């Protein structure tokens, strides 16, 4: 990564935009997950992103400008069966990106979290990994979703070329968003989760507030 960044800087003089796009999926119920596969998944989806970001930040900081686009997923906001470890990597990208933007926005560097739904890429096809271990008790849940996920390959409803243009439009906007949902499914499912979270939070508000120390009574 450091070599690639150095070559790009030598060829073009500077790096204005970093797109952290490398990533892949892994199908397994949480109990079925294999340690080596899970660690390799995090190496690519999380630590690869971190290392590349750290390699370009010195130049962006010195110029007080730059854009960092971190490819997350609808799966960075919502979790489904059979892709728990993939979600864990994307939830990590979301949190890291929120912290990063707090640190670099005052330096003139923009961070964007891109959250696509099911685009017609190799994600559910050739690049997908899955555990060799299967447990019968998870067949109706994780097992069913393994099958349905693989069956989407080549039939995903979202267009990568249109997504690329949407990202360009967002990056070049006067006020780029921190999060960019891509695809109708991403918008519908993400907003449904927002509604669900609010219902749950509001329903348990009194319990949440009860965990604070009582307010001290002022002396009479």
Active site members: 72, 86, 90
- 């728990």: which residue's tokens? 84
- Residues 75 and 83: their CA atoms lie apart, in Å, by 9
- Residues written for the chain: 220
Structure tokens at 150: 């693989």
181 — phi, psi (to 5°)?
-75, 145
Q: Are 113 and 97 in contact (CB under 8 A)?
A: yes
Secondary structure (3-state) at 104? helix
In DSSP notation, 140-203 reads IIIIHHHHHHHHTTTT-SB-HHHHHHHHHHHHTSSS--SEEEESHHHHHHHHHHHHHHHHHHHH
Measured between alpha carbons, how far is 67 from 62 in angstroms, rounded to an integer?
14
Distance in angstroms (rounded) separating the CA atoms of residues 79 and 76 = 8
Give the Å distances, CA to CA, from 156 to 47, 57, 70, 92, 161: 28, 35, 21, 25, 13
């Amino acid at each position: 990564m450091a070599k690639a960044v150095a070559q790009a800087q030598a060829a073009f003089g500077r790096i204005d935009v970093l797109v952290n796009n490398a990533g892949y999926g892994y199908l397994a119920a949480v109990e079925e997950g294999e340690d080596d596969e899970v660690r390799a998944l995090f190496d690519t989806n999380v630590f690869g992103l971190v290392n590349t970001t750290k390699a370009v930040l010195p130049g962006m900081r010195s110029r007080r400008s730059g854009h960092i686009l971190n490819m997350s997923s609808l799966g960075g906001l919502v979790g489904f069966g059979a892709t728990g470890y993939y979600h864990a990597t994307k939830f990590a990208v979301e949190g890291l990106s929120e912290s990063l933007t707090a640190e670099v926005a005052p330096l003139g560097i923009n961070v964007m979290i891109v959250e696509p739904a099911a685009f017609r890429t190799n994600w559910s096809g050739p690049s997908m990994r899955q555990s060799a271990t299967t447990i019968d008790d998870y067949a109706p849940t994780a097992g069913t979703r393994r099958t349905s996920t693989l069956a989407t390959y080549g039939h995903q409803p979202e267009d990568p070329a249109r997504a690329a243009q949407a990202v360009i439009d967002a990056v070049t906007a006067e006020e780029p968003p921190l999060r960019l949902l891509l695809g109708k499914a991403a918008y519908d499912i993400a907003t449904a989760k927002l509604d669900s979270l609010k219902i749950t939070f509001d329903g348990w508000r009194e319990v949440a507030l009860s965990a604070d120390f009582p307010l001290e009574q002022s002396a009479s």
